[in-house]
Amino acid sequence: MKKTIFLLAVAFLLQKVMFSQCPNYLQFTSQEQVDNFLIEYPDCTEINNTVSISGDQITNLNGLINITSIGQDLIIGSTSVLNDLTGLDNLSYVGGNLSIIETSGLSSLHGLNSLLAIQGYARFDYNETLTSLSELSSLTSVGQTLYINFNTNLSSIGMFNLEGNIQSLYLESNPQLLNLIGLEKITSITEDAYIVDNASLASLMGLNNLDSVGFALTIRNNPPLQNLEGLNNLRVVELFLTISNNENLSSLTGLESLSTIHYTLYILNNPSLSHLTGLTGLNNIDADLDIYDNIALIDLTGLENLMYTTKSITIAGNNTLSSLTGLESLTHIEQHINILNNISLTSLNGLENLDTIVGNFNILYNPALTELTEFNDLRCILGELEFTGNYALQSLNGFTKLNSLGLGLKINQCNSLINMIGLDSLRSVGGILHINENNALESLDGLDQIDPESITQLRITNNPHLSKCEIQTICDFLAGPNENITIYVNAPGCNNSSEIEYECLVSSEETDYQDNITLYPNPVSNDLFFSCNNGLEIKSIRLYNQFGQNFQFGKPIQQSINVSGMQAGLYVVEIESNGQLSRQKLMIY
C-alpha cells in the first residue's frame, strides 16, 4: 500500500514539474493553443526561445498573461481577427526581434505597455488597421533597427521613452502618418535613416534631438513636407544625405546645425524648392554636392558659408536657376565642378572667388548663358576646362587670370561665340585642344599665348565661319612633329592643316628688310622678277600653294624665275637672302 502511495506521489510531482516547465519554442496558430498554454504551463514566465503567433483563428492572447520575457524573437503576423495584444501585459523583455507584420484587424498594441527592451530589431510592417504605436511608450531601447513601413492607417508613433542609439530607422509608405512625435529621445542612428513615401507627413518634429546618422539619411517623396524643422540638432551625416522628390518642400530650414557630410549631399527633384536656406552650417565638407532637377530653384542662397569641398559639385537641370549666387565664399574644389542643363542660367555670378579646381570645370548645355563671371583669382585648373552647348555664350571674358590647364580645353557648340578673347592669359592647356561645331566662330584670337608644346591633341572641326586659325600657337604646333591632328569642315583658310599652314606663311611677321626686296609683276603668268636694295643677295626662292605644297627654285638667274608652268592661284613667295627669310603674297594666272 505504501509503495502504491509513493508511486502516485512521484507521478503527481513529475506531472507538476513537466507542466510548469517552459517549452523551447512556441508556435500558436489557434485560440485553443493560446488558451491551453496557461493551463499546461501555469508557472511559465520566461521563454528562452522564439514565440510565433499567427493565423485567423486567434482572437485574444489572454493565455500568455504570465510571460515576462522572451529570449529570442516575438513574431505576430498574418492575423485578421486579433484586435489588440491584451494578454502580453507582463512582457517586459524580448531578447531577439519583435515583428508585428501583415495584420488586418490589429488596431492597437495594447498589451505591450510593459515592454521595456528589444535586443534585436522592431518591425511594424503591413498592418492595415494599426493607428498608433503609443502603447509602446514604456519601451526604452531597441538594439538594432526600427522598421515602420506600409501601415495604411498609422497616424502617430508615440514611443516617447525610446532613447539613445538605434541602428537604423525605416519609415516608408505610411500614408496617414503626420509627424514623428514620439522619437524625441533618439540621439543617434548608427547606420541609415530612411523617411520615404509618407503621403501625409508634414513635419519631421520628433527627431529634435537626433545628433548624427552613421551612414545615410534619405528624405524622399513626402508631399506635404515644406521644411526640415525637426532636424535642428543634426550635426553629422557620415555618408549620404538625400533630399529628393518632396513636392512642397520650399526650404531646407531645420538643417542649420549640419556641419559634416563625408560622401554626398543630394538635393534632387524638389519642385517647390526655391532656395537652399538651411545649409549655413556647411563650411568645409568632405562630400560631393549634387543639386539636380529642382525646377523652382532660383539661386543657391543658403550655401553662403561653403568655402571648400574635397569632392565635386554638380548643378544640373534646375530650370529656373538664373545665377549661382550663394557660392561667393567658395574658393577650393578638390575634384570637379559641373554646371549643366540649367536652361535659365545667364551667368556664373557666385563663383567669382573660386581660386582652385583640382579636377575638371565643365560648363555644359546652359542655353541661356551669355556671360561668365570675373574669376578674381582662378589661375589654374588641374583638369579640363570645357564649354559645350552654351548656345548664347558671346564671350569668354572672365578667365583673364587663368594661365594653365592640366588636361585640356574643349569649346564645342557655343553658337554665339565669335572668338576666344578672354583666354588671353592662358599659357598651357596640358593636353587636348578641341574646338568643334561653333556656328558663329570666326577666329581663334585669344589662344595666341598657349605654348604649342602643351598641346598633345588638336581637333578643329565643323566651325562653318572659322577662317582664321593661323594664330602663332596653331602655326607652331602644325610645324612640329605632331600626328594627333584632326581639322575639317571649317571655312576656307582653316579647312585642313595645309590651308592653315599656308595662312601661317602668308601672315608671318615681316622682317626689317622686307621693303628692300621687290617682286614684279604681281599678278604674274610668266617671268617673275626680283629687285634687291642695300646689297641684299637672293640665295633661294620657294613658292607655297594653298595646299601647303612647296616648289624650290634655288638662286634666280638674272634676278628672275619662270612660273609659267605653275597652276594658277594664290602663292606665298619665301625668299632667303643674307641668312634671313622674307615672305610675300603672289598671284599666278
Domain count within the chain: 1
Three-state SS at 352: coil
Most distant CA pair in the chain, distance: 159
Q: Is residue 395 in a domain? A: no
Secondary structure (3-state) at 183: coil
Position 512 pLDDT exceeds 50: no
Cβ atoms of 436 and 414 closer than 8 Å: no
* pLDDT, tens digit, 9 for 90 and up, residues 363-395: 999 999 999 988 989 999 999 999 999 999 999
CA distance 585 to 570: 7
Q: What is the separation of C-alpha 82 from the centre of its chain, rounded to a whole number of angstroms? A: 48
Cα–Cα distance measured from residue 35 to residue 56, given in angstroms and rounded to the nearest whole number: 15
- Answer whether residue 534 is part of any domain: yes
pLDDT in tens, 439-473: 999 999 999 999 999 999 999 999 999 999 999 99
**Cβ neighbours of 462 (radius 10 Å):** 15
Q: What cell does 178 get?
A: 503626420
Examine residue 523 and say whether the peptide bond preceding it is cis (omega within 30 degrees of 0): yes
Query: Which residue did the predictor score with more confidence, 551 or 255?
Result: 255
State the pLDDT at residue 515.
67
Strand ranges (E), 129-272: 141-142, 146-149, 164-166, 169-172, 186-189, 193-196, 212-213, 216-220, 236-237, 240-244, 260-261, 264-268
Classify residue 83 by burial, with Cβ atoms within 10 Å: 0-12, 13-18, 19+.
middle
Query: How many CB atoms lie under 10 A from the CB of residue 285?
Result: 24
Instruction: Please report whether residue 568 resides in a domain.
Output: yes
pLDDT band at residue 118 under the 50/70/90 scheme: very high
Inter-residue contact 229 to 254 (CB < 8 Å)? yes
pLDDT at 2: 40
* Domain-located, residue 351: no
DSSP string across 265-329: EEEE--TT----TT-TT-SEESSEEEEE--TT----TT-TT--EESS-EEEE--TT----TT-TT
User: C-alpha 285: how far from its chain's center?
Assistant: 14
Round to whole Å and give the CA distance between 29 and 38: 15
Query: Residue type for 210, please?
Result: L
The SS3 of residue 438 is coil
- CATH number, domain of 558, equals 2.60.40.10
For residues 258 and 255, what is the distance between their CA atoms, to the nearest angstrom?
A: 5
Query: What is the layout of strands, in order, in the sheet containing 141-142?
Result: 46-47, 69-70, 93-94, 117-118, 141-142
Spatial contact of 571 and 585, defined as CB atoms under 8 Å apart: yes
Residue 263 lies in a domain: no
CB 439 within 8 A of CB 411: no
d(CA 359, CA 502) in angstroms, rounded, equals: 37
C-alpha cell at 242: 538625400
Strands 538-544, 569-577: pairing kind: antiparallel
Q: Is the pLDDT of residue 5 over 70?
A: no
DSSP-H helix ranges across 173-316: none
Other Cβ atoms less than 10 A from the Cβ of 11: the count is: 10
Which pLDDT does position 355 carry in this prediction? Answer: 94
pTM of the model: 0.85
**Least confident residue range of 275-289, 341-355, 541-555:** 541-555
pLDDT of residue 184: 97
**d(Cα 280, Cα 306) in Å, to the nearest integer?**
8
For range 566-571, the mean pLDDT: 86
E strands in 112-175: 117-118, 122-127, 141-142, 146-149, 164-166, 169-172
At 2 the three-state DSSP class reads helix
Q: What confidence tier does 202 reach under pLDDT thresholds 50, 70, 90?
A: very high
CA atoms within 13 A on the CB side of 474: 31
Lowest mean pLDDT among 152-156, 175-179, 426-430, 496-500: 496-500
Q: Mean pLDDT of all residues in the chain?
A: 92
Lowest mean pLDDT among 25-34, 236-245, 471-480, 568-577: 568-577
* pLDDT above 60 (res 14): no
**Band (509; pLDDT cuts 50, 70, 90):** very low
Is the per-residue pLDDT at 13 higher than 70?
Answer: no
Dig out the grid coordinates for 368 from the structure: 541661356
Helix (H) / strand (E) element for 476: namely helix 472-479
Q: Which domain holds residue 534?
A: 515-588
* Count of other CB atoms within 10 angstroms of residue 20: 12
The gap from C-alpha 142 to its chain's centroid, in whole angstroms, comes to 34
- Show the CA angle centred on residue 575, arms to residues 573 and 577, nearest 5°: 170
Rounded Cα gap, residues 44 and 20, in angstroms: 6
561 domain residue, yes or no: yes
